[in-house]
Structure 1
Amino acid sequence: MLSDIPSETPPPDLAALAEDHYFNANPPPKDLDKHIKLAKEFIDFHAAAGRRLVLVTSGGTTVPLDAEKQTVRFIDNFSAGTRGATSAEYFLEAGYAVLFLHRQFSLLPFSRHYTHATDCFLDFLQEGPNNSVVARDEYAAKMLGVLRKYRDARDRNMLLVLPFVSISDYLHELRAIAHLMQPLGPRGLLYLAAAVSDFFIPPDRMAEHKIQSTDAVDSVKKNSNDGRGVRTPSVEEEETFDNFDSSPAVPRSKRLVIDLDPVPKFLKNLVEGWSPQGMIVSFKLETDPSILVRKAKYSLDRYQHHLVIGNLLSTRKWEVVFVSPGSKDRWIRVPFNKNGPDGAPLDTEKDEPLDPKSLPEGDPPIEIESLIIPAVQELHTKYIQSYGEKKEQA
């Protein structure tokens, strides 16, 4: 009988198992429910209007080293959120609603023009008539233009800003928002510009309190004689733990050895389960030009998403490369005029990274995001059209 034939056990879904394990072991941020409510209202509003919506992730993610709920020490990266904040403005100009998921205190759309300046923000202002505060004359026109764009985006409910801090916060927020974007179908775009940590410390291995810089606390506990387990170390004891000890060999008690686990790669989960109909764009930052395109293609092949934007740390403001399925690699560069060492014009159309030494000094004349976003929008349009064609054929 058919019922007597043993059925084959399907292979385990490793991506789903990794997802369940990570999110069960790492608690969500305290404001997640509030953020979900705000995001759902924002997404539903634009889904009903048939509008395109982009989730822009921006800034770095911290990796707490101690006391998860009252972290003192953590690992961070250099990202200030420039790419994400700038891209968000150009997406708004292109007619997208923007849900901006950013590292708390990193750059924000519009305000970035002043908070990222070398001058203090107050240097842009002066006292006006009747104890008012006004922009200085030399900055007034630009500030008015930025203010009008910002107010237009907020007044028309085109921009929602939500913060995160740690890698765990980020992944909880990303998963929740991606699920909420499913009603958008192919009109949803996920533009993952955040600099996401590759390693973390699981909560069950994290110190409950601040990691001490010395073992003085242990000495205090062992020598306690006041009945409460507390004693003030002597000057001699304090000097024993001086970080400027001239001894050439640093005692192991003074070292901090950190054992980190790799953060699970959830891009596969994002593509297949969290937002299966949305177009997904990831970034690949490298410092070695010889591996940039290869690493971008590997990521694309591994996760089967729709676009990888590769960039080098030294030239990221001047050029990026678009790597997408079935298409020739496309280099997008800020145009500039400069001759090579032999006086001949440089080939800025070549299909490989430019030599950083060939670039002009200073910042580019235009923001490269002003070129990136129209190119992404073009690909998104094709993606929506092809999705519609597949639906009709089905």
Structure 2
Amino acid sequence: MDRSPSEIPPENLADLAEDHYFGSNPPPKDLDKHVALAREFIDYHSAAGRRLVLVTSGGTTVPLEKQTVRFIDNFSAGTRGATSAEYFLEAGYAVLFLHRQFSLHPFSRHYSHATDCFLDFLREGPEGGVVARDEDASKMLQVLRKYHDARDRNMLLVLPFVSISDYLHELRSIARLMRPLGPRGLLYLAAAVSDFFVPPDRMAEHKIQSTNAVDKKTVTGPRAEEEETFDNFDSSPSVPRSKSLVIDLDPVPKFLKNLVEGWSPQGMIVSFKLETDPSILVHKAKYSLDRYQHHLVIGNLLSTRKWEVVFVSPGRPDRWIRVPFRRNGSDSVAPVPDTQRDEPLDPKSLPDGEPETEIESLIIPAVKDLHCTYIRSVEEKRRA
């Protein structure tokens, strides 16, 4: 006899939601190839006893058609993830970089995300070859050496995704592969994951037509424009062209609990919470931590995300990490960041432009310290 959802234990509901989602949303075509590459990479570093971090980066698309022309996206370019990956490599981690296709990559981000065209960094050399522009040559050489060092030592593996479904299939598969790492595995979930999606059984097969001109081929003349209407997923009554297209979205299941308890139960899991309202940031971060029982939530505000973040973790006071800066209107030397301040900065107090220090250079050492503490705690429990 079937039971109502209220009668099913929460842990079983999570398993049912997982089975339903992955059973009804097909995997990406390259999943098997990516799993093979990830397995080889993870096994290599597991055998070496090395710490390994899975960094997820960039936004996930929400396709509106099976043969996708239109999709919903978000603003994420993958800056946080790509930058963090470089600092994790500096900290001695092997990095598996799962990123939105065409979003920023570690190292190349220094040029692909610049306001200048990449070709502006290059010039023709005296012998007819291509060389770096004189003012950029030194920095470009440093970045190039770091990149080749990471690749030559097999410390960086880059794998792409596009849609929300692609991302979740890849994340689940890779997290399961990380189980042999135990506590040495770190999952740093910096991707901007979509909260809503269109289930495949409600998704249009072909491009959604903006008018019904195909159905009214015989209508010509001045009235033809008046007769055009938007198509709708639900084949509901036509609405005038000037009106809205209504899209029926379902919430994406929250799989962080599945990740914590099943996919990678011993790995340390770091999630991000981005908000625009400073009054709810810490509350939402703590709610996420309590709900999913993972290890660290890094909260940040859209307006100040490059200047400060807050670490929310179990049994510890909230910790604000801030880039040193000179406040607007101040003639004093840039102060040491006020790490004890327990509320977000006022964006109006921040200098114009970008920080001189990348905040990820402060985030990653702090995450590494927590990860080392976590590894020791797990090992002590094993010995006890």
How does the TM-score come out when normalised to structure 2?
0.91
Counterpart CA distance in 2 for 1:234 and 1:34 is 52
Counterpart CA distance in 2 for 1:370 and 1:99 is 19
Q: Which amino acid aligns with 1:351?
A: D
- Number of equivalences: 364
Once the two structures are superposed, the pairs formed by residues 301-312 of structure 1 within 5 Å of their partners are 301-312=290-301
In the TM superposition, residue 336 of structure 1 has moved relative to its aligned partner by 1.5
Alpha-carbon displacement from aligned partner over 1:50-90 (angstroms, at most 9, x marks no partner): 00000000000000011x2x200000000000000000000
In the TM superposition, residue 338 of structure 1 has moved relative to its aligned partner by 2.5
Counterpart CA distance in 2 for 1:251 and 1:46 is 59
Q: Which blocks of at least 5 consecutive residues in structure 2 are unaligned?
A: 1-6, 230-238
In the TM superposition, residue 219 of structure 1 has moved relative to its aligned partner by 1.1
Equivalent residue for 1:382?
A: 373
Query: Which of 166, 172, 178 lines up with 2:175 in the alignment?
Result: 178
Q: Alignment RMSD, CA only?
A: 2.0
Counterpart CA distance in 2 for 1:96 and 1:144 is 22
In the TM superposition, residue 251 of structure 1 has moved relative to its aligned partner by 1.7
Query: Which of 301, 315, 324 lines up with 1:335 in the alignment?
Result: 324
Equivalent residue for 1:135?
A: 132
Distance 1:340 1:253, change over 3 A: closer
Query: Which of 145, 150, 153 lines up with 2:147 in the alignment?
Result: 150
Query: Which of 101, 121, 125 lines up with 1:124 in the alignment?
Result: 121
SS at match of 2:271: strand
Once the two structures are superposed, the pairs formed by residues 237-256 of structure 1 within 5 Å of their partners are 238-240=224-226, 251=240, 255-256=244-245
Equivalent residue for 2:95?
A: 98
Q: Which blocks of at least 5 consecutive residues in structure 1 are unaligned?
A: 1-8, 224-232, 244-249
SS at match of 1:219: coil
Counterpart CA distance in 2 for 1:10 and 1:216 is 49
Alpha-carbon displacement from aligned partner over 1:321-380 (angstroms, at most 9, x marks no partner): 000000000000001132779x9x998341110000011111111000000000000000
Q: Which amino acid aligns with 2:226?
A: T
Distance 1:291 1:340, change over 3 A: farther
Provide runs of 4+ in structure 1 moved above 3 Å. 9-12, 233-243, 345-349
Once the two structures are superposed, the pairs formed by residues 242-391 of structure 1 within 5 Å of their partners are 251=240, 255-338=244-327, 348=338, 349-391=340-382
Alpha-carbon displacement from aligned partner over 1:289-324 (angstroms, at most 9, x marks no partner): 000000000000000000000000000000000000
Counterpart CA distance in 2 for 1:202 and 1:79 is 23
Counterpart CA distance in 1 for 2:171 and 2:90 is 24
Counterpart CA distance in 2 for 1:103 and 1:241 is 40
SS at match of 1:388: helix
Comparing 331-340 with 22-31, greater Cα deviation is found at 331-340
How does the TM-score come out when normalised to structure 1?
0.89
Contact 2:59 2:191 survives alignment (8 Å) = yes
Larger Rg: 1
Counterpart CA distance in 2 for 1:22 and 1:310 is 28
Q: Which amino acid aligns with 2:323?
A: V
